[in-house]
Structure 1
Amino acid sequence: MKKLFNAAFIYMILGVSAGLFYREFTKANDFPAGEFTQLAVVHTHLLTLGFIVLLIALVLEKTFAFSNSPKLFGWFFWLYNAGLVLTAGMMVWHGILTVLGEESSAMISGIAGLGHILITAGMIFFFLALGRAVTKSAKESPAPVAA
């Protein structure tokens, strides 16, 4: 549980910092207001996929103890976080290039795609671990008594 809490806290700080960076970096470089850059959505990705998703996972861990499948939990945790960091990093890189008026490359898109694949793989392991824990919990719970 501590891993999930700490990771959620770190993503909260990163998400808020990304929003601040976006605002200040675009102002410092006289980037036209209303013109799109990926920097505008990095903070929402970090806050939603990092902070909120991991807080939900923390609640599910408290309820079902899905980390009792340590291999599945480990694969979920590390794949998901590696994917999210890779994806957000590529978004920042692409956004900085946009603000500076430079061309992006297919490499950035490819690495971001790899990040998305890792997030997806992490979520698959999350559901495998959670499904195992929910099934175990259902078998251990007494059947409800009809009134």
Structure 2
Amino acid sequence: MRRIYHAAHIYMILGLVSGLGYRELTKLRDFTGETQLSVVHTHLLALGMLFFLVVLALEKLFTLSAGRLFGGFFWTYNAGLALTVTMMVVKGTMTVYGHRAGEGLALVSGLGHVLLTVGLILFFVNLGKRVTDS
């Protein structure tokens, strides 16, 4: 249960810092256009902090971590979110600095989304088994 809490807490910190970073970087560069940096804040808070707070509540009710798939879900989901958000920061920063992101970055971003999807599938399969068992 502690690692779920720590994950939520870390994503809260990263979400708040990313919002500040977006504001300061765009202000520093006098950038007024569209950039992926503008949504990093909400991705970290929603897919990170809020999601893991919900997982924490479900852990309390159904002891999700006792399920066989919990470890796979936890690490796959976190890897996917970290990769997705990292690519958003890289592509957004490149936009602010006037550079174009290549196809390679799109492929890595896609891999992050695939990992998130696999993590969510593992989460729901594990949750379904734990709900049925209780």
TM-score (norm 1): 0.90
Number of the residue aligned with 1:43 = 41
Shift of 1:111: 0.5
Paired with 1:50 and 1:115, the residues of 2 have a C-alpha distance of 14
Return the letter of the residue paired with 1:58. L
- Structure 2 residue runs without a partner (length 5+): none
Shift of 1:128: 1.2
Number of the residue aligned with 1:13 = 13
Number of the residue aligned with 1:88 = 85
Paired with 2:120 and 2:44, the residues of 1 have a C-alpha distance of 16
Paired with 2:133 and 2:11, the residues of 1 have a C-alpha distance of 31
Work out whether 1:2 is the aligned partner of 2:2: yes
TM-score (norm 2): 0.98
Number of the residue aligned with 1:119 = 116
For each residue in 1:32-62, what CA deviation from the matched residue of structure 2 results, as whole angstroms up to 9, or x when unmatched?
2xx2100000000000000000000000000
Paired with 1:129 and 1:68, the residues of 2 have a C-alpha distance of 9
Return the letter of the residue paired with 1:3. R
Number of the residue aligned with 1:142 = none
Number of the residue aligned with 1:66 = 64
Length, aligned pairs only: 134
Paired with 1:109 and 1:58, the residues of 2 have a C-alpha distance of 32
Paired with 1:37 and 1:123, the residues of 2 have a C-alpha distance of 27
Identity of aligned residues (%): 54
CA contact (8 A) 1:73 1:125 kept: yes
Number of the residue aligned with 1:107 = 104
Larger Rg: 1
Return the letter of the residue paired with 1:22. Y
CA contact (8 A) 1:38 1:95 kept: yes
Paired with 2:55 and 2:16, the residues of 1 have a C-alpha distance of 20
